[in-house]
């Protein structure tokens, strides 16, 4: 009985200290921020309730987009190699094959209307700084036309499987133009020297971000980088919740590849320890019965 009392005191002291230096201290150093918003309701230049016309969208895309953007899935290859494209635009323009799948509809429509506002990078691209974002605003297009473009992009986007391959293709489409992922052998399609000029610094390698930032931080950060890191040059990319989950899943598959093994082995080792402790207790009781 007395030993339980000692144990209770010990557990209380260790528990209080642990609470203070881990959950509590981290909540002070990393205060909670506004929850992620996957509806992107803050940008509302385009009435996204309009139903888009795929046929008309195809015509508009072929007239307006493919001069800069590839759409491999719809038979429009890139106009020039990545290095040349990067040199001309500052960053490789994205292949739009996946755009209709990975970007939120509301975000995508408003992005076409005004990219800088949708991306939350006004601090960098404004009349004062004199810098212009490589893609022009299509604010002269009617909302109906924009929704037609969105509808077309959604129609050409291929479905991907919910496995590592699928997660990888989402990651490459969403992040792969700027970020390396060394541990997966992925190199940014924009050359490092060019992207440094474009962004002001080299975007970090994401191999270990699942560990250094953690799922919780990434969930909020990818949704809107400005919320956690005000002034960062990383734009809001406007991923749907599902696409973002796929990106994070891929980061985990690469950065913490042994997670499943760790968690299944952990259960067995703990079970073993329990059996070890029970037998040790029975042995101890037998031995001590002679001396008490």
Partner 1 sequence: MAEFKKADSMLEWFDQRLGVVNFAKVMMTEYWIPKNINFLWAMGVLLTVLFTFLVVSGIFLLMYYKPDANMAFDSVNYTIMQEVAYGWLFRHIHAVGASVVFLIIYIHMFTGIYYGSYKKGREMIWISGMLLFMLFSAEGFSGYMLPWGQMSYWAAYVITEIFGGIPFIGDDLVVWIRGNFYVADATLTRFFMLHVLLIPLAIIGAIVFHFYALRFPHVNNEAGEFFDFDVEAKKYLAGNKKHSKVIPFWPVFLSKDVFVLGVFLIFFFYLVFFHYGFAMDPINFDKANGLKTPAHIYPEWYFLWSYEVLRGWFFEIAGISGKDLGLMAFGFANIIFLVMPWLDRSPVVKPANQRPYFKYWFWLMIADLMVLTEFGKLPPTGPNAWVGFGASLTFLVLFIALPFITKAEAAKVKGKK
Contacts to partner 1 by CB under 8 A: 2-3, 6-7, 10, 13-14, 16-18, 20-22, 24-25, 28-29, 182-183, 204, 207-209, 211-214, 257-258, 261-263, 265-266, 269-270, 273-274, 276-281, 283-284, 287-288, 290-292
State both tokens at 182. 């060394």
Chain centroid to Cα 33, Å, comes to 17
Report in angstroms how near the CB of residue 32 gets to partner 1 at its nearest.
Answer: 16
Determine the distance from the C-alpha atom of residue 266 to the mean position of all C-alpha atoms in its chain, rounded to a whole number.
28
Q: Which two tokens stand for residue 139?
A: 């604010």
- Measured CA angle at 79 (ends 74, 82), to 5 deg: 105
Nearer to partner 1, 192 or 277 (CB): 277
| 71, β-bridge pairs | 76
Q: How far is the CB of 250 from partner 1 (least distance, A)?
A: 14
Count CB-CB contacts under 10 A for residue 252.
17
Other beta carbons within 10 angstroms of residue 156's beta carbon come to 22
Q: How far is the CB of 214 from partner 1 (least distance, A)?
A: 6
Residue 128 CB, shortest distance to partner 1, in Å, is 28
CB of 3 to partner 1, least distance (A): 5
Q: What is the rounded CA–CA span in Å between residue 154 and residue 152?
A: 5
The DSSP secondary-structure symbol of 194 reads H
Nearer to partner 1 among residue 76 and residue 213 (C-beta): 213
Q: Give every CB contact of residue 252 below 8 A, 6+ residues apart in sequence.
A: 210, 215, 259
**Bridge partner list, 159:** none
Minimum CB distance to partner 1 smaller for 136 or for 266? 266
> Residue 262 Cβ, how far from partner 1 at the closest point, in Å?
6
The first and second tokens of residue 261, run together, are: 């093994």
89: number of Cβ within 10 Å: 16
- What is the Cα–Cα distance from 206 to 127, expressed in whole angstroms? 32
Min dist. Cβ of residue 231 to partner 1 (A): 14
Q: Which pair of structure tokens corresponds to residue 233?
A: 């040059």
Report the residue number, 83 or 260, with the smaller CB distance to partner 1: 260
Q: Which is nearer to partner 1, 67 or 287 (CB)?
A: 287
The smaller minimum CB distance to partner 1, of residues 117 and 207, is found at 207
Q: What are phi and psi of 181, to 5 degrees?
A: -140, 80
Which is closer to partner 1, CB of 114 or CB of 252?
A: 252
Three-point CA angle 99, 203, 160, nearest 5°: 30
Of residues 44 and 262, the one with the C-beta less far from partner 1: 262
Please name the residue that has the structure tokens 């009985």: 1
Q: How far apart are CB 275 and partner 1 at their closest, in Å? A: 9
């Amino acid at each position: 009985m007395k030993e339980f009392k000692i144990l209770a005191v010990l557990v209380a002291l260790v528990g209080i200290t642990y609470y203070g230096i881990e959950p509590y201290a981290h909540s002070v150093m990393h205060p909670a921020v506004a929850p992620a918003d996957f509806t992107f309701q803050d940008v509302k230049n385009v009435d996204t309730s309009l139903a888009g016309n795929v046929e008309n969208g195809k015509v508009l895309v072929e007239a307006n987009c493919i001069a800069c953007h590839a759409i491999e899935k719809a038979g429009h290859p890139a106009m020039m190699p990545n290095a040349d494209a990067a040199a001309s635009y500052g960053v490789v323009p994205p292949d739009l094959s996946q755009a209709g799948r990975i970007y939120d509809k509301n975000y995508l429509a408003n992005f076409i209307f005004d990219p800088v506002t949708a991306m939350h990078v006004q601090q960098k691209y404004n009349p004062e700084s004199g810098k212009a974002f490589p893609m022009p605003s299509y604010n002269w297009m009617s909302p109906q036309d924009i929704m037609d473009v969105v509808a077309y992009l959604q129609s050409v986007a291929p479905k991907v499987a919910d496995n590592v391959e699928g997660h990888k293709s989402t990651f490459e489409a969403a992040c792969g133009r700027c970020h390396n992922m060394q541990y997966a052998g992925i190199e940014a399609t924009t050359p490092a020297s060019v992207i440094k000029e474009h962004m002001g610094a080299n975007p970090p390698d994401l191999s270990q971000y699942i560990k250094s930032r953690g799922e919780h931080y990434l969930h909020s950060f990818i949704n809107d980088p400005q919320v956690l890191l005000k002034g960062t040059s990383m734009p809001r990319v406007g991923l749907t919740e599902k696409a973002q989950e796929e990106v994070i899943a891929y980061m985990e598959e690469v950065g913490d590849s042994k997670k499943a093994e760790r968690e299944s082995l952990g259960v067995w080792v703990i079970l073993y320890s329990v059996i070890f402790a029970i037998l040790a207790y029975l042995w101890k009781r037998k031995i001590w019965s002679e001396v008490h």
